[in-house]
A and B are shown apart, each in its own frame.
Chain A
Amino acid sequence: MKPVKIAMMGMTHGHTRKYYQTLLDNEKLDWVASCAQDEESKKVYELYKTGVPCYLDPDEMYRKHPDIEAVVIASANDRHFGQMKWCAERGIHILSMKIPTFDMKEYDEMVEMCEKAGIVCQIELEMHYNSVVRRLEKLVKEGAVGRIKAVQMTNITLSPVWAFPWQGDPKASFGSVVPLKKGDPRFRGGALCDHPHIFDLVRHLTGSDFDYIYAEVAPNLRDGLKVEDMLMAVGKMKDGTAFLFDPSWSRLEEKLKVPGPGWERFPKRMEVNVTITGDKGMISCDCFGPNVYHNGAPNDRYTVQYTYFDEWIGLIDEFVACIRERKTPLINLKWHRETIQAMLGCYESIQSGKIAKIG
């Protein structure tokens, strides 16, 4: 199979650095170029010494590398539409970060332009390529706990806003400046926008669609943040499954400009935990455990050193296969629409104080 000529664009997303090793290692790929949004993100990119040239102008990148076949769009959410358009106009396949956009009109235009261009547009929800999630899905499918009655899922992390300031900027993260609710000084665009995985995973596990959702924001943990950092949601799927979601930034962090050792203040910087109650049993699941633990440098605090963390490999493998074999990605734009709607439903519920019907 001819390696896919791939590039990265934006370089401001929190997941950007997680692609580097996979893009370099995978022989089905030829990582030819990167294009940073600005000088600052270019400087951070250069710290990782990938050896892949980095540009500041996508048109210059494309002039010098006209054979680019695919792009990983690794940018702020409000840049995605323009960058997708740029790719679609050139017939370049897209691997999008987890939130294409929260503007549903824009979202539908994305679907249309990708279809018209005949390109693959895969959404990065890497949890599906996590071996623990794969086992979880297999167990549920095999009926290990019978019919699912209730699900609890956490996708809790530290906040990346100090390293990736756009994630604390309502416009850059949510796409527009919308107050959370009457009398609340905060705006949409915080922790919720960072954590779509559980909204997606429940759909795969139950095979059902969202019925309704109810959400509440709590007081923020971080002073001065313009967006929400603590919230919870409950609701039901159309098959009756009751769910409880925690998509918060509930783990505090050091205000590092570049993520690295010592970022976390709570020992574990990211947790995706799932509890499933079925009519024949229960499953409890820690998607990022076990690990290795230490209290050494740099901060001498008890710290989880993530150990089994290879979901990017499967994610990229699927992307390459979709391009070469003309397949549709598991998480494609059309599938992902309901996940985004459910997340929007959380914001609507926070604003209204009532349940939000989905779909």
Chain B
Amino acid sequence: MNLKKMNKGLDFLRGKYGAKAGEITVRDGHCFVGSTPLLPGRMERKIVELKKMTENGTLEGVSTLRFASFAPKGADLEAMLAKELDLAAYLGASDVVRVMAVANGNAINVLAKLANDVNVSVEAGAGLPKGAAAYDRHEIIAKRGVACDQTVDTHTPHASIRVSNADGVEEFTDVDTELFGMTYEEVWNVRAAFALLQGRASAKVWKAAWAKAEKAAALAFAADRAKAARTIAVKCGLDTNEAIKTSEVR
């Protein structure tokens, strides 16, 4: 991630639309604004659309979430899992209360339960070659409707552009006109920081949500070692899975 470019993009958005001052920093590979961890996954447009579908009646009676996340060798598997478990709680609108997992080297398969009884599976692996683009998949299965960020009859993401020439084949998917030129990861971290500085996302909620996600991910690895599911107590109080307000541009 290019922090200088990201903060320039953040300043551009703040200047254009208005937001309080702040900058993005990185600690242990995770982006923060001040002491608040960013949740860029929740800002990804595809996650925003999926979240809307769970709330606007497109999907009814969510039963199961099937997620996957793959990254190049050397990626932090626990951080990848924390992100997916946070998205599970967010899209399932309920906290993770139980995790079971089987890990082997650079891969882990997780079966988790949300407080509302929804099942979650996450396959995570850091086995892609160095330099390869990470990818993921989020499928929501409900009594009425299945929604997914990958189209039917595919198992890897579609790209907007494919260039084939003497150098080989290269793919491009640009997702944000205002932040054109940034990587996918950079775009959503900037959008997350902007949402926080605009007050559309709550620092209190994100701190609590990320703490829960990190705990659930750590317990998944513990469950693998113990060969037994781990339970997480749910505390009443702050709802950390409410939708973030986003602009409609269609």
Residues of A near any B CB (own CB < 8 A) = 18, 21-22, 25-28, 129-132, 134-136, 139, 144-146, 261, 280-287, 289-297, 300, 302, 304-314
Contact = CB atoms under 8 A, between A and B. Distances in A.
A344 to B, nearest CB: 31
A293 B174 contact: no
A276 B170 CA distance: 15
Contacts of A312: 249
Contacts of A146: 165
Secondary structure at the B interface, as helix, strand, loop or mixed, is loop
Interface centre among B53, B142, B145 (most CB of A within 10 A): B145
A304 B149 CA distance: 10
B186 to A, nearest CB: 14
A310 B176 contact: yes
B16 A310 contact: no
B46 A129 contact: no
Contacts of A28: 16
B50 interface: yes
20 contacts: A18-B249, A18-B250, A21-B248, A26-B16, A27-B16, A131-B175, A134-B174, A134-B180, A144-B165, A282-B163, A283-B162, A283-B164, A286-B160, A290-B150, A291-B49, A291-B151, A308-B45, A309-B249, A310-B249, A314-B178
Contacts of A131: 174-177, 180
Contacts of B249: 18, 21-22, 309-310, 312-313
Interface string B135-157: 00000001011111111100001
B18 interface: yes
A33 to B, nearest CB: 21
A281 B163 contact: yes
Interface in B169-192: 172-178, 180
B127 to A, nearest CB: 23
Contacts of B173: 132, 290
Contacts of B149: 290, 292-293
A152 B195 CA distance: 40
A290 B159 contact: yes
A295 B146 CA distance: 6
Interface string B40-52: 0000011001100
Contacts of A27: 16-18
Given A297-B57, A304-B151, 14 more contacts: A21-B248, A131-B174, A132-B172, A139-B172, A283-B162, A285-B160, A286-B160, A292-B46, A292-B53, A294-B146, A297-B59, A306-B250, A307-B46, A308-B176
* CB-CB nearest 3 A-B residue pairs: A296-B145, A281-B165, A294-B147
